Structure 1
C-alpha cells in the first residue's frame, strides 16, 4: 500500500494537516512536542485503530475536540492510476467510524487488512522485555495479514468472547454454565493454536537470515523462535480443561489456553533477555520486524508501510544503513521522524535513492 495523500484532524496537537506524500521515503522533522510523532501515530491508526504509544485512545484526540479523523488516499501498487479512499474517525465516547474505499464499514479489521503497518519505536523492546501479550500480538498480526481470511478474525473474536463468558461464570461459581462453554473453547483454542504454530515456524525461517545480516556477531550462533503453548501439550486440551475445573473455580479464571501462549527468543538455547546488550536487543527486534515484512510480502504480495519514530535515538548509523540495504528491494513506503540535528544523518542513507521528501513540523503545523 502507498499513501499518496494524508489528511489529519485533531490528532493530539495536530489540528489539521493535508499533505501529499512520497511513495518511497518521507522524513518528518521537528523538535519534541512539534507533532512529528503524532504524524506517525495517525498512519498507525489506519492499520491498528490505536497508537503505538502506551496511551488511551481518548488521549489521541485533541483535548478541546470531541473526535479525530485520519483520511488517506492510497494505491495498492505504485503503477495503479486509481487512488482509493480510506478513513477512520474516533470519538471521545469510544465510538469509531470507519471507511474503506469510500464506504462505511462495520469492523476495524476491514480497514486494517489494507494497511500492514510496521512500527519501530522506543517501545519496540517490549517484544523482548514485555509480557507475553506483546509477542502474541505480533504473531496474531501476522496471522491476520497472511491468512487473509475473514474466518480467521472471527475465530479470535469468538475465542475472546467465549473466554470472557467462561471466566464470568467461574467468578459467579456457576459450574454447569462454565461447562457449557468448554466445547466451544476447545475448538477455538485448537484453531488459534494451529494458526500460531504455523506462523512462528514460518517466521523463524525468515528471522534467522535477517538477524545475522544485521548483527554478524551471531553468524555462527543458533538463533531461533520457539512457540510455547499456554498448556502442557502432552495432554489433550479437553482433558486439561476438565481436570483443572476446581483450580479455575478457585482462581476465578481459565488457567490454561492460547491466552497464555508465549514465544521464546533463543540464541544457542539461551534466552536473549540474559544475553543481549540494549543495542543488540534493538537489532534483534528490528530483524524480527524485517522477517515479518518478508513473510507478508512472500505470502500475500502486500507491501508494508514502515514507521520509524526517532530512529537515530534507537539505532546507530551502521544499523540504520544496513536496514535500508535490507529493505531496498521490497520498495516499501517508509516514514521517519527525527529532530533537526539528525536530519543530515537520515539524508546520508536515503539520498542515494533520490526518492525522498522532507516535511518540517512545528506546533502541529507544516512549515513551508
Structure 2
C-alpha cells in the first residue's frame, strides 16, 4: 500500500515515523533514568540526621534537615537525568540518523538511476538510451517520463540533422563529379587554348576543394552516428601506416616525421579510426613551418600527435574543434588552409568510440592533441 504513495507522502511518513520513534525511545529512556534515580534514593533523610539526633532535635532542626535532604535529593536526580539523558539523546540521535540515511537512500534510488542515465548520455553513449519505467506512479516516474520524452525529441532532431547532411552531401556529389568530368574533357580536347587550360585547372582545384568538403561533411555525419562495426584494432599500426603514406607530403612541406609506437589496441571502427589519425597527422603537417617536425606517440589507451608551428593562444584551442573554424592569421606549409573540419571530425569519431580529445598549445608554438580511449589497454 505504501508503494502506491507519492514521493511527498512517503517522505512525510518517513520523517514523521522517525520523529515519533525517536521521541518514544527518548521518553522511555528518560522514564527509566528517573525511575532508577528515585528508586536509589528511598531514604529521603540520608545521612543528614540519624534516629538518636531526631529524638533530641527540635522541630526547627528536623524541618531544616528535611529541607536539606530534599535539596540534595533534587540535585542528585537532576544531575543524573542531565548526564545520562544527554548520553541517551546522543545514542538515539545516531540511531535515527543511521536509519534515516538508509531509508533516504532507498527512497532516492530512482533519482540515482536517472542521474546515471543522464551521465552516460552526456559521456557520449548516444541519445537512444531510455530510463525504464519502474516503481509506482509518483513524481519520480513522471520525471523519468518527461526525461524520456525530451530524449526522444533530441534524438529525432539530431537524427534528422544528420540525415539531412548526409542526403545533401550525397546529392551534391553527383553534380560535382559531372562538373569535374566536363572540365577535364574541355581542357584535354585538341585545340584548347592556354587560357582555357589555365581556367580549367583553377576550376578543377575549386571543384576538388568542394569534393573534399562534401567528403568531410559525410564523414562528420557518419562519425556522429552509433558505431555499427566494431573490431579489435591497433591504433599503433594505423598510425604507422598513415605516417608512411604522409611521408611524401611531409618532405614536400619540409617537415620531419617522428614516432614512438607502443601497443595501443581499441575496439572500434577501423575506417573511422584511420580517418581520425589521418586528420591529426595532416593538420600537424599543414599547420607547421619548414624545418619543423611532427611527433606521433602511441601507448596503452592513448594517442598523442604534436607538432611545431605558429603560436596558438590557450583561449583559441577550443574553437579549433568547431566546424569551419580556422585561424586565418596562421599560414600553412601547403598553401591550403583546409576546410575547418579536420579536428571536428576527430572529436566526433573519438566521441563515437567513448574517447576524449584534448589539445595543449606549445610554449614556442604548435599544438599537442591527445586522444584517450577510456577503458582500453
TM-score by length of 2: 0.21
Larger Rg: 2
More helix by share: 2
**Structure with the higher strand share, 1 or 2:** 1
TM-score, normalized by length of structure 1? Answer: 0.21
